[in-house]
């Protein structure tokens, strides 16, 4: 029972680990060819604190591979949990200014603390991110449609997301979104994303909660994203 609340939040927001931080709704973009990135963040829930690190590289030019995970500390009893994630993402239609972009992502999320179904593959998922640019990228809208398979329950649920990137200044973006599954009320999240060094160092901060809810499922997050120039052979 100790891991039910943080695990539920993780599973409800699976795309979180793949979108450009801190959005959970993914975009139809990947890191530059032969380049890598590291996305890391701390997420404060009402009953736990999560620390995520997700390195990703694009070795071929159109295949972004991500391998990382999270450490979750539960308040009250001092225990900690670990999650591992592996994902591959490709672009089917590149996103251009004022254009449409389409991608495809598949992955697995493993929870070693489970009594059952704790090996590889773990829970697995797939989704299609669709992005549309307006006004020369002043506003970019993202739509996700996918499915998530819970291995130990042998149950599949649909997932969806609708997110927005709105440029306030050249380096600053407002990022509201709503996302969920085909079960239960949806979640929302809003915050700011800012470039400290253009195309290399980015920071963000958000607040999120479930729609029409109290404070039991709300969260706050702060994150750091580092991107490299092309460096792979």
- Looking at the DSSP assignment, which residues form a beta bridge with residue 83? 70
pLDDT at 194: 97
- The pLDDT confidence band at residue 114, using thresholds 50, 70 and 90, is low
Mean pLDDT (whole number) for 157-168: 97
- The pLDDT confidence band at residue 154, using thresholds 50, 70 and 90, is confident
Q: Which secondary structure element, helix H or strand E, spans residue 6, and what is its range?
A: helix 4-12
pLDDT at 13: 43
b/e code 64-99 from CB counts within 10 Å (16+ = b): bbbebbbebebeeeeeebebebbbebebeeebeeee
pLDDT at 219: 97
- pLDDT tens profile 195-228: 999 999 999 999 999 998 788 899 999 999 999 9
pTM of the model: 0.87
- Looking at the DSSP assignment, which residues form a beta bridge with residue 88? 65, 106
- pLDDT tens profile 38-76: 999 999 999 999 999 999 999 999 999 999 999 999 887
Domains of the chain as residue ranges with CATH = 4-227 (2.40.160.40)
Question: Which residues, other chains included, contact 122 with Cβ-Cβ below 8 Å and sequence gap of 6+?
Answer: 84, 108, 109, 110, 111, 151
- Looking at the DSSP assignment, which residues form a beta bridge with residue 226? 38, 201
To the nearest whole number, what is the mean pLDDT of the chain?
88
Taking the C-alpha atoms of residue 100 and residue 132, their distance in angstroms, rounded to an integer, is: 5
Number of continuous H segments (helices) and E segments (strands) in the chain: 1, 13
- Which of the listed ranges 4-18, 76-90, 145-159, 161-175 does the model predict with the highest average pLDDT? 161-175
Taking the C-alpha atoms of residue 75 and residue 72, their distance in angstroms, rounded to an integer, is: 10
pLDDT higher for 64 or 79?
64
């Amino acid at each position: 029972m100790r891991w039910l609340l943080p695990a539920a939040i993780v599973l409800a927001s699976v795309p979180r680990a793949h979108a450009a931080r801190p959005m959970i709704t993914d975009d139809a973009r990947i890191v530059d060819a032969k380049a890598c990135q590291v996305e890391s963040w701390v997420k404060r829930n009402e009953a736990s604190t999560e620390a995520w690190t997700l390195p990703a590289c694009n070795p071929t030019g159109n295949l972004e591979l991500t391998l990382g995970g999270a450490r979750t500390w539960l308040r009250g009893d001092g225990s900690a949990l670990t999650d591992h994630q592996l994902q591959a993402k490709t672009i089917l239609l590149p996103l251009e200014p004022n254009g449409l972009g389409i991608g495809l992502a598949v992955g697995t999320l493993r929870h070693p603390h489970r009594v059952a179904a704790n090996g590889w593959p773990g829970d697995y998922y797939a989704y299609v991110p669709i992005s549309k640019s307006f006004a020369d990228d002043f506003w970019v809208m993202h739509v996700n449609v996918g499915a998530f398979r819970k291995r130990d329950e042998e149950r599949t649920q649909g997932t969806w997301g609708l997110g927005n990137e709105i440029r306030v200044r050249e380096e600053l973006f407002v990022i509201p979104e709503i996302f969920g599954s085909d079960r239960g009320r949806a979640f929302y999240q809003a915050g700011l994303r800012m470039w400290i060094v253009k195309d290399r160092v980015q920071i963000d901060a958000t607040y999120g909660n479930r729609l029409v809810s109290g404070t039991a499922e709300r969260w706050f997050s702060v994150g750091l994203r580092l991107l490299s120039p092309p460096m792979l052979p």
